[in-house]
């Protein structure tokens, strides 16, 4: 039973991986590019590190993802937000440390 759920998680993570890395030209699907779309594009970019880490864990460290109850539904959510904030802060500290900021 455990193997089936891990395999299902890997398959759903593969599908989520394909959907996640397609840049949204019209995120809200109204056929127009408006300020709402720009905000959604910024959100898409900001949440990329968290989504990437979640998907990598789901695809390659599936037992940990199963134990932690990670699912593709968590992409662009609160967990992804927290991971992204940490990732961006680490990146800013790296640039500040080496005088690139």
pTM for the structure as a whole:
0.82
Mean pLDDT of the chain: 89
Q: What is the number of domains present in the chain? A: 1
As a whole number of angstroms, the distance between CA 32 and CA 52 comes to 28
**Model confidence band, residue 1 (pLDDT cutoffs 50, 70, 90):** very low
Pick the more confident residue, 87 or 3: 87
As a whole number of angstroms, the distance between CA 91 and CA 50 comes to 13
Range of the domain at 7: 2-97
Q: What's the length of the chain? A: 101
pLDDT tens-digit map of 10-59: 899 889 888 888 887 888 888 888 888 888 889 999 999 999 999 999 99
- Helices (H), ranges, 1-101: 2-20, 35-46, 48-60, 62-67, 78-97
Pick the more confident residue, 4 or 89: 89
Residue 3 pLDDT exceeds 80? no
């Amino acid at each position: 039973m455990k193997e089936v759920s891990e395999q299902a998680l890997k398959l759903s993570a593969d599908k989520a991986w394909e959907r996640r890395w397609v840049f949204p030209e019209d995120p809200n699907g109204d056929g127009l590019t408006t300020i709402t779309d720009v905000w959604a594009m910024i959100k898409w970019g900001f949440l990329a590190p968290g989504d990437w880490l979640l998907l990598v864990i789901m695809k390659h460290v599936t037992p940990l993802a199963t134990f932690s109850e990670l699912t593709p539904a968590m992409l662009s959510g609160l967990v992804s937000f927290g991971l992204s904030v940490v990732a961006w802060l680490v990146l800013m500290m790296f640039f500040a440390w080496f005088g690139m900021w």
